[in-house]
Amino acid sequence: MGIARRDLLKWGAGVGGAAALGGLALPSPAWAAARATPRGLPTDSWMGRLSNSIPLLGLTIPGTHDSCCENPAYGTEWSHTQNWGIPQQLQEGVRFLDIRCNGLQGAPNELGIYHSDNYQHIRLQDVLNQCRSFLQAHPTETVLMRLRNERAGGQSLGDDEFMRRVNYYFDALGFRSLFHFYGWPTLGTARGKIVLIADFANPWGLIDWSSGQNAYFDTQDAWEISGSDPLGKKGQYIVAQFDKAFLNPDYPKMFVNFLSYAGGYWPKSSSQDLMDHAIYPYLNARTQQRARFGIVPMDFPDFHVNVLQMLIDKNFV
């Protein structure tokens, strides 16, 4: 799905653009009063209750999968994974964002947010401005961001061109100082910044994403499973990853446990089934346990606020 040049000019592109994108953006949002978790933690600033010295590897970090896919009109219900936009996700306690980019038609330096080849009508600079606005208003917090080269459709980019555009965002658009780039930091070092997780080829020595295992990650992301009971098996994988993380508190990698599943199901229906039969029962039976579960991305946290808040509370005794 492309953008007509007249629309690009109307919305504003590049350094001098107004960056309006259908009301998505760029004036700083007025941050509403935060909710509180069952343990009384304010969802907009829960990290502020933790010590500067705690490593990010020692936390449970709720997140979203395909974080910008809010509208089924920008694809189908298959590509619809969220109802909250980025500002509300952050306000509600989400601290990991899954940001997937292709090139933006008519804008030779920019990146658009996509689910496969479905453009989500928001640009990377809009997401970064939303994150910066939140972090300026909530300086005790950090955001972990998987930045992925989606490599899909007519706007697919090769490795060198994707890196060139990322550097354009860092330097020409002035976002470099917003990021932490190298190695897993302590929370104190990460506060007020986006921790960049690179899901794109680069020679820079960044934290490199893995959907399996590498030096940085131990990830469960089974999104398509063969057999007669794929959701039952996915639930077993989720529980096994929770158990592995709980039983290995000093493991030197970041655990990631995707609660989302596609595999022939609409994300809404698979998410609800998994929450009802695997995730909520597991977490609800262990509400008194502190746990380092790592990054836990989900679909539709607005439907599962209880799970989102239980994950936040896992960071506190």
* pTM of the full structure: 0.91
The domains of the chain, with CATH numbers, are 65-209 (3.20.20.190), 227-317 (no CATH)
Q: pLDDT tens for residues 41-55?
A: 999 999 999 999 999
The gap from C-alpha 265 to its chain's centroid, in whole angstroms, comes to 21
How many residues belong to the chain? 317
> Residue 78's pLDDT band (boundaries 50, 70, 90)?
confident
Measuring CA to CA, which residue among 196, 244, 246 is closest to residue 220? 244
Q: pLDDT tens for residues 204-258?
A: 999 999 999 999 999 999 999 999 999 999 999 999 999 999 999 999 999 999 9
- Looking at residue 6, what is its pLDDT? 31
pLDDT at 192 over 50: yes
